[in-house]
Amino acid sequence: MIDNNIIQSIGAGSGIDTNNLVKQLTSIEKAAPQNRIDKTRDLTESKISDFGKLKSALSTLKDATKTLTDPEGLFSKTASFTESDALVPVELGTDVQTGSYTFEVNAIAKSQSLSSTSFASITDTVGEGTLTIRLGAVTTDVNGEMTAFSADVEEDAIEIVIDSSNNSLSGLRDAINNSDSGIQATIVNDGSGYKLQIKAASGAANELEITVAESGGTPTNEDANGLSRFAFNTTVSQLTENQGGQDASLTLNGLAITRETNKVEDVVEGLTLDILKAAPGEEINITISDDKAFAEQNIRDFVEAYNLFLEVLEPIFGTSEVENDEGETTTVTGSLAKDSLAKSILSQIRSTIASSIPGLGNSDFTSLTNVGIRTELDGTLSIDEDDFSSAFDTNFEDVQKLFAPTTYSSSGEIFINSYGKNTTAGEYEVNITTAPDQGYYNGGDIDDTEATFPNFDSSAKTYDFKISVNGNTSDTLVIPSAVYADKDEMAAALQTLINADETLAANAATVTVTYDSINDRFDITSNKYGASSTVEITEASASTSSDLGLAVAAGTPGVTVVGTIDGVAGFASGNVLLPKLGEPAEGLALVIGKNSSTGTVNFSRGFAGELDELITSFLTAGGVIDLREDSLESDLDDLDEDQTSLDRRMTAYQERLIQQFISMERILNSLNSSGSFLDNLVNTLPFTAKRD
């Protein structure tokens, strides 16, 4: 690079301002390519900024769209009900059936309450040993003493161990409360001393039987000393029953119903009730209807959000008027007005707005125009209030299907369990050639055994067995010693016993045990479908086999479903049929029933689902917008390289000019020197010399 002193020195001989001239020539040479770089950089940076604005606008529109894909957005319910202090609805699910319901509360659920004798202090010693608590139904006499107890065989006994570390009244209380049994123990001072109050969970079947096994000596476990003071069973009632357990009793449209708690969640699906008090004879009417106003507002909010989306994008895609500092107005075209990707994104969104929604079958509501939503000439949406109101008033269910994802099956034995992002909305023919089934084991005829029902007492013998479910073998299972009122109660006990096994539970190998009254046997059925669904008794004690008909034998294995979807063989797992990859139905998961044959299924994402899926594809990480932004960032890097290259060329160009001007100055200096020499020479010649 030429030194500045050299640059400043040139021109000294010629008198020409060559320094300024070099700068001007360099600037002229650089102007055109520099202008191209600057304009390209400005446009690229504007595109990056505007793609960011586009993403933000898409995200806002997606939020408004997402509301309509959420069941709460279109399927919310509202309830009107008789004002009552006996029963109130506290929660409505979107799946609750609309209609009118008349309730009457005859009794509230209560918890059994037991109390001990009085103690002088909460630190008084209570003795050592083990309290065994079982849940079930208690029968007491007029004095509150237990006369009968029917254990709940599905509930394990609770053991409370009292030793030297906790053998006080407060220690016993804490031991019960820390047992995670749901039983509550409290120390109450009723004026006569401190009493331990034991409260069970509410319900008639959650009452308590307490037996005591005291440590040391020769305790009777039934007297009024030591830990025996907390016994409550058919042999001895040292505790006092202050209140018996009781189920809530109510009627629904005249049908009698009982529940263990005062929070009722399963009488009407999707409706949760709180029972506050008994009010026999008082009718409480609850009317559940679709919350059309809420759904309508959500759709209006979407229309507003879409129009705002277009408004935000107008300066980016169209033209806008910009005023400078002098007040002059110029028309500016948005940086993405000619961007192919940006135009494609907006075009696809507008197409979805205007298109019919696939998968809705023969519905009269397949596009936004059917519900009074119109597209104006400028692309914005407007609402025809008459058509909009009419659609909500007379065809609300079709409005819901138009906007929200829906599925439909013509067969009660074929269900759409789920769908994927690649699933094409539409109608599909399903043909089942082999229906699925579960593996099962059928026991022997119980009438031919030594078991005596009703009131079968299992304590006289050892009843144990091992069972293999879906290829997983249990530990030795021992049937609890108890009196089983009937064979259904025994079946329930067997099911609880098997499903509680750690090995089986860890492998989700569960069963359903039922009593077959026609064949007088216990049937054990795997809850899994398919060829790998199996049930086998691998070991059984003699009494288990002889009395209960559960002999060592393999059961019948299950069957895996076989079928086609739109004529193409599907992939099956148990009772689930999946389409072949690459097919339009890819992503559908069909649950097939035991008695299925053929049927059609329809799947629609709904307008909101289609638009949400489209916007998601634009915004996803690594999606088209991200790739475009990466490309623009790369273009900026290229422009940096172009700028560096241009600067390098201009520096070289300037150096060439300087060298040329230096050469010129040298020539001029040489010419000037020659001129001076000649002048001097002329002055010395006789005929040219100057004379004074």
The full set of domains in the chain, from first to last, is: 77-109+248-290 (no CATH), 111-243 (no CATH), 407-436+561-604 (no CATH), 438-554 (2.60.40)
Q: What is the pLDDT, as a whole number, of residue 93?
A: 87
Tokens standing for residue 212: 């005591």
How do residues 352-361 score in pLDDT, each as one tens digit?
999 999 988 7
Tokens standing for residue 310: 């277009």
How do residues 216-233 score in pLDDT, each as one tens digit?
766 777 788 899 999 999
What does the DSSP 8-state code read for residue 556? B
Quote the CA–CA distance of 155 and 492 in Å, as a whole number. Answer: 11
Quote the CA–CA distance of 89 and 579 in Å, as a whole number. Answer: 43
What is the arithmetic mean of pLDDT over 249-256? Answer: 96
- Model confidence at 692: pLDDT above 80: no
- Length of the chain (residues): 692
What's the mean per-residue pLDDT of the chain?
A: 89
- Model confidence at 15: pLDDT above 70: no
189 vs 656 pLDDT, higher one = 189
**Are the C-beta atoms of residues 298 and 75 closer than 8 Å to each other?**
no
What is the arithmetic mean of pLDDT over 430-452? Answer: 87
User: Is 567 buried (19+), middle (13-18) or exposed (0-12) by CB count in 10 A?
Assistant: exposed
- Model confidence at 552: pLDDT above 70: yes
Quote the CA–CA distance of 188 and 114 in Å, as a whole number. Answer: 12
What is the arithmetic mean of pLDDT over 385-391? Answer: 94
- Model confidence at 649: pLDDT above 70: yes
How do residues 134-157 score in pLDDT, each as one tens digit?
999 988 888 878 888 888 877 888
Quote the CA–CA distance of 538 and 525 in Å, as a whole number. Answer: 15
- Model confidence at 442: pLDDT above 60: yes
Which backbone phi and psi does 402 adopt, to 5 degrees?
-65, -40
676 — pLDDT class (breaks 50, 70, 90): low
**Are the C-beta atoms of residues 560 and 529 closer than 8 Å to each other?**
yes
Q: What is the pLDDT, as a whole number, of residue 557?
A: 98
What is the arithmetic mean of pLDDT over 159-188? Answer: 95
Q: What is the pLDDT, as a whole number, of residue 71?
A: 76
- Omega of the bond leading into 71 within 30 degrees of 0 (cis): no
Q: Which of 109-118, 144-153, 208-217, 473-482 is most confident?
A: 109-118
- Model confidence at 258: pLDDT above 60: yes
- Model confidence at 23: pLDDT above 70: yes
Rounded to whole angstroms, what are the CA distances from 144 to 20, 138, 374? 117, 10, 75
Q: What is the pLDDT, as a whole number, of residue 449?
A: 56
- Model confidence at 653: pLDDT above 80: yes
383 vs 7 pLDDT, higher one = 383
What is the arithmetic mean of pLDDT over 381-401? Answer: 93
**Are the C-beta atoms of residues 135 and 280 closer than 8 Å to each other?**
no
**Are the C-beta atoms of residues 130 and 212 closer than 8 Å to each other?**
yes
What is the arithmetic mean of pLDDT over 661-667? Answer: 76
Quote the CA–CA distance of 126 and 226 in Å, as a whole number. Answer: 5
- Model confidence at 665: pLDDT above 80: no
363 — pLDDT class (breaks 50, 70, 90): confident
280 — pLDDT class (breaks 50, 70, 90): very high
**Are the C-beta atoms of residues 628 and 341 closer than 8 Å to each other?**
yes
Q: What is the pLDDT, as a whole number, of residue 87?
A: 95
What is the arithmetic mean of pLDDT over 411-425? Answer: 92
Q: What is the pLDDT, as a whole number, of residue 149?
A: 86
Quote the CA–CA distance of 299 and 383 in Å, as a whole number. Answer: 10
What does the DSSP 8-state code read for residue 98? P
Q: What is the pLDDT, as a whole number, of residue 169?
A: 97
Which backbone phi and psi does 186 adopt, to 5 degrees?
-140, 145
663 vs 115 pLDDT, higher one = 115
Burial call 360-385: b when 16+ CB within 10 Å, e when fewer: beebebbebebbbbeeeeebebebee
